[in-house]
Amino acid sequence: MIRRFLLILSTVLIVISCTQKKNTTGYEDENSKVIEIKNTELLEFYSYEDSIKYNSANDKIMIGNFGKVQSRALFKSTEFPTDSISIESTPILKIYTNFKEGYEKDKNLCENLKFKIGLITQEWIESYVTWEKTDNDTSMWSLAGGSFELEDSWEFEVTTDDSLLIPIPESFIEKWCSNSDENFGLILFSDNIDKFIEVKSSEYTNYSPTISFSYKINGSDDILEYSGITFYDTFISNTNYNFEKKEELILTDLSPTRMVIKFDLSDSTFLRIAQETDLEIEEIFYDSSQVRKANINKAELKLYINMEESIHPRTESSCWSYILLKDNPSLPLQNEDDDIVYRYFSDNSESISQTDLEYITINVTSFVQAIVSEYIDSDGNEYKNNYGFLIKSLNENKDFQFLKFYDDTAGIGKKPELNITFTIPIFMD
C-alpha cells in the first residue's frame, strides 16, 4: 500500500509541478470539481440468520415469542429473611414495562399475553447463561430452556400499565427463606405465538425489578415488610436457526439477522452516473480510468424502512458495517485466523446510523474509497474487487427489533441508495 501511495503521490506532484496548480480535494476550486451522485444500481442483496449468543449487561428483558424465537426471563433475589417465617401477603414481583412512547404496536404485541411461572432448580450465572448452558463452563441445563418446576395452576395476564405486579407462589418464598442454597430464582415465559413484552432489567437505572411481601417471624405477632431488588435478572432465547438466506433486506437482533448489500461501483457505471448527474463533467472526466483518481469525500448508504413490517424501530440506532473480502462466501460469515471474510475499518464513524423512522443512513466512506482506489492494506488484503458490505446490528441478542427495508423493486424514493460526494482533479495544460 505504501509503495502504491508513494507512486501515485509522486505522479500527482510531477503534474502539479508542471502546471504550477494546486490539486485540492474536499472542496471545489479551479483545479478540482466536487460532484454528488446517487447510485441505485444494486447488484446483489440478501439477509441471513446467525446464531444467538449469551445476553450480558442488558437493560432490557424480553418475555414471549416472536417468529421462531422464544424468550424466557430469569429473576433471582438473594437477601431474603433467614428466620422461620410465615407469609402474610401475596408475594409480588414488580417489573417495569418498556413501551416506546407513541408506538402503539408495542402494546398490540402483548395483547392477551399470558405468563407462566416456574421454580428454577439449577444454579446459573447471569453473564453467561443461555438456552442450553448455565454458565461459561460446560455446565448445561438438565432441560434446554431452563430447568424448573412448573407451577401448573398459575397464570398471569399481561397489562399495558407502566409496571406489572406479578404474584409469586408463597411456596417459592418459603423455600428460598428456609434454605438459601436452593434459591435459584424463578422463570417467566409464555406459550402465546408472536406475543411478547419488553421490560426493564436491574441494569436500567432506578427501575430494577423488586420482590415484596409481608411476613411474621414465627413466635411473633409483628408484621414485617420485605422489599428487595432482583440482584440477578436476564433472559434466554432459542430459535431453530439454520443460517437461512433470504433475498430480502432485513436487520434483526433476535435472532441476529445480518444483511449483505452490493452496489455497482465499476468504473463505467461510476462514470455514467457522474455524467448523468453533471452535464459538464465530460469535458474533465472523460475516461473511466479517472475514477481511480477520485477522492471520496463522503459515501452514505441510505435504506428506507418498511414500517408496516418492522418491529421496535429506534429513533437512534447503531450498527456495524464491514467490507467483504470474498465473493459468495459460505454462511454464516465468519472470520478465521487464516481466512478473513470481512473487515472493519477502525474509523468508528463507519458504524453509526440514525433513523427518523423513515430510513437509516450508514457511513461507508472509507469502504468506497478503498474499492475505488484499489487500496491494499498492510496485511496484503486487496480491495480492488467489489464484493459488497456486511451490515449487522450493534444490539444483537438484546431485543426483538426487526427492521425490514425496501429493496430495488420499490418505487422511486424508497430504493436503497448509495450517495457519494467526491472530488476529481482537473489537470490543465
User: What are the angstrom distances between the C-alpha of 154 and each of 93, 116, 149, 211?
Assistant: 14, 6, 12, 17
pLDDT for residue 352: 59
β 224-229/85-87 pair status: unpaired
Compute the distance between CA of residue 36 and CA of residue 369 in angstroms, rounded to an integer. 15
pLDDT for residue 315: 67
Output the nine-digit C-alpha cell for 356. 427518523
Compute the distance between CA of residue 245 and CA of residue 339 in angstroms, rounded to an integer. 21
pLDDT for residue 71: 96
Contact between 172 and 182 under an 8 Å Cβ cutoff? The reply is: no
Question: What's at 134, amino acid-wise?
Answer: T
CB-CB neighbours of 5 under 10 Å: 12
Output the nine-digit C-alpha cell for 38. 446517487
Compute the distance between CA of residue 112 and CA of residue 314 in angstroms, rounded to an integer. 25
Where the chain has pLDDT below 70, the residues are 1-31, 102, 241, 279-288, 315-317, 346-356, 426-429
Question: What's at 378, amino acid-wise?
Answer: S
pLDDT for residue 279: 65
Q: What one-character-per-residue DSSP string does 16-28 give?
A: HHHHT-----SS-
pLDDT for residue 327: 92
pLDDT for residue 24: 38
Enumerate long-range contacts of 150-154, CB under 8 Å, 24 or more apart: 150/116, 150/117, 150/118, 151/116, 151/117, 151/118, 151/119, 154/116, 154/117
pLDDT for residue 354: 64
pLDDT for residue 348: 43
Q: What is the pLDDT of residues 326-344, one digit of tens each?
A: 998 999 899 988 888 998 8
Compute the distance between CA of residue 55 and CA of residue 299 in angstroms, rounded to an integer. 33
What pTM does this model have?
0.84
CB-CB neighbours of 18 under 10 Å: 11
pLDDT for residue 377: 81
Contact between 302 and 408 under an 8 Å Cβ cutoff? The reply is: no
Residue 201 backbone zone (phi > 0: left; psi -120 to 50: alpha; other: beta): beta
pLDDT for residue 216: 95
Q: What is the pLDDT of residues 286-314, one digit of tens each?
A: 666 777 778 899 999 999 999 899 988 77
